[in-house]
Amino acid sequence: MSAPEPGPGEPADRLDADARILGAGVYAPSARLPREAVAEAWGRSRARGIDAVAVPGPDEDALTMSVAAGERALAAAGVDAGDLAGLAFATTTPPLEEEDLLPRLGAALGAPGDARTHYVGRSTRAGTRALRAARDAGALPALVVAADAPRAAPNAPEGHAAGAGAAAVVLGPDSGSGAGLVGDAEVAADYPGTRFRRAGDADDADDGVEGLGVTTYDRKAFTRPIRAAVDLLGDDADAFAPEEAAAFAVTAPDGDLPARAARSVGLDADAVSTPVDTLGDTGAAGPLLGLTAALRAGATRTLVVGWGSGAGADALLVDGLAPVEGDLDADRELSYAAALRRRGEIASDEPPAGGGAAVSVPTWRRSIPARYRLRAGRCPDCGGLAFPPEGACPDCHDLVDYESVGLPSEGTVETVTGVSPDGAPPEFARQAERGGDYAVAIVRFEREGAAASVPMQVADADPESVAAGDPVRAVFRRIYEREGVIRYGRKALPAVGDG
């Protein structure tokens, strides 16, 4: 049966909801590895239905992508991060195998320390499970973020499909606006071996995602739990039949399985909204990326299904519309060798020597508000801005107790210089090896007639393309790693063409 095609804003009979999506945000790395480059390297592409995959930069990971998507969702919803009562984070590819990432996510966004938190991982169902957990906790408003960048052996089907992306939604109480979360269903069936990752280092391609590759078995493991969960959802959601959905947002390991799942629940393959064809396999982020695409296209009812190998499925119905911020546009294509280098799959074995300008973790932690959220100090005497907020006022030179203020995210390059991998400080050497030459700039941020100059590395840009006077935007990225601890902070991203 064909799915109905309501136009943007076309009303549907409203269903009761416990919580509503007030706004959503998306993020994907801007570099793409096209299918043709993979086929040239290996003789063919083993990723069915995928035209290109998003490749994270050397300073990007699940946490940095989550911050980008989360900031956009909060802006779309008109909710301040300081007002969040709940925060949920989902990923199968955390930057560290053991450490709670929610404190860092909350600190980067400015969420309260007492927000109700949920972390979900270990399965591509993680995104929908986080959404359900935040809704069921009832601590609203809540931000739910899912981000992933799967890894696999370079010539495995999973390796050819591996992409990256993040999506976030802000949940609020049912006040009549936004898109309602309706119904809830969950099904599990024992199908081992369809998609798994052995114990080990997630950054090692040999320990990445793999599968047994039994085609008929894999298709059953994917479609049967999904169909069963959707059938249960139809029983749970009053006045709803699955085939009435205008869009189908589902986990997408490749471009073939989601279409099969859509047909199994009575929808056309064209109803699939997850952007697997342009981003690749985005793991736990897939269903939420599909949901944001459906909301942006004006789909008034979206069937959202998270599937995880093992195998199980969660099904929810999203009823209504909500604003979405961010885009998933690409700004450049990579060669296959450049993509391998960018992912760190070809790199030096020897760690860089020396300590350079690295600082201790306790010292770094004291400066987190400035590094994560550009918190400056305003002089109570002259109104001048100090960044970081310490020492004498740069304008009146008095020693004062600064008022903490946030700098805007947009600034202007004052001066810039390029750094080559050979000239990079030791703590930046690995990143420079993967990304090549990079620029370091002094960026001027203005607030209420005053200005602060902030030294920042420039992300995702050839140093030759950055000049004084260029507009930039501050983004959250990895700075460097030392003693196993990843240091995060803000970098400058050229604003031209930035989504």
Instruction: Please report whether residue 98 resides in a domain.
Output: yes
pLDDT at 482: 85
Residues 173 and 298 in one domain: yes
Last residue of a domain, one of 308, 343, 378: 343
Residues 41 and 153 in one domain: yes
Tell me the C-alpha distance between 79 and 143, whole Å: 10
Instruction: Please report whether residue 353 resides in a domain.
Output: no
In this predicted structure, the answer to whether residue 123 has a pLDDT above a threshold of 60 is yes
Instruction: Please report whether residue 99 resides in a domain.
Output: yes
In this predicted structure, the answer to whether residue 447 has a pLDDT above a threshold of 80 is yes
Instruction: Please report whether residue 355 resides in a domain.
Output: no
Residues 259 and 207 in one domain: yes
Instruction: Please report whether residue 348 resides in a domain.
Output: no
- What integer is the mean pLDDT of 133-160? 95
- What integer is the mean pLDDT of 404-418? 96
Q: How confident is the model at residue 299 (pLDDT cuts 50, 70, 90)?
A: very high
- What integer is the mean pLDDT of 112-125? 96
Residues 327 and 392 in one domain: no
Single-letter amino acid, residue 496: V
The end-to-end CA distance of the chain, in Å, is 36
Tell me the C-alpha distance between 25 and 289, whole Å: 9
Residues 334 and 452 in one domain: no
Residues 311 and 408 in one domain: no
Last residue of a domain, one of 343, 375, 395: 343
Average predicted confidence (pLDDT) for the chain: 90
Q: How confident is the model at residue 354 (pLDDT cuts 50, 70, 90)?
A: low
What CATH number has the domain bearing residue 38? 3.40.47.10
- What integer is the mean pLDDT of 388-413? 96
Instruction: Please report whether residue 77 resides in a domain.
Output: yes
Instruction: Please report whether residue 421 resides in a domain.
Output: yes
Instruction: Please report whether residue 387 resides in a domain.
Output: yes
pTM for this prediction: 0.93
Helical spans, DSSP H, in 5-156: 35-42, 62-77, 102-109, 126-137
pLDDT at 1: 30
- Of the ranges 147-151, 179-183, 358-362, the best mean pLDDT one: 147-151
Residues 398 and 332 in one domain: no
Interacting residues of 115 by C-beta distance below 8 A, sequence separation 6+: 84, 85, 86, 87, 106, 139, 142
Residues 61 and 188 in one domain: yes
Residues 320 and 380 in one domain: no
Work out how many domains the chain is built from and give that number: 2
Longest dimension (CA), the chain: 74
Range(s) of the domain holding residue 303: 19-343
Q: How confident is the model at residue 238 (pLDDT cuts 50, 70, 90)?
A: low
Last residue of a domain, one of 288, 315, 343: 343
pLDDT tens digits along 197-233: 888 654 444 568 999 889 999 999 999 999 999 999 9
pLDDT tens digits along 1-56: 333 333 333 434 455 567 999 999 999 999 999 999 999 999 999 999 999 999 99
Residues 406 and 437 in one domain: yes
pLDDT at 132: 96
Residues 252 and 377 in one domain: no
- What integer is the mean pLDDT of 163-185? 92
Residue-wise burial string across 122-154, b where 16 or more C-beta atoms lie within 10 A, e elsewhere: ebbbbbbbbbbbbbebebbbbbbbbbbbbbbbb
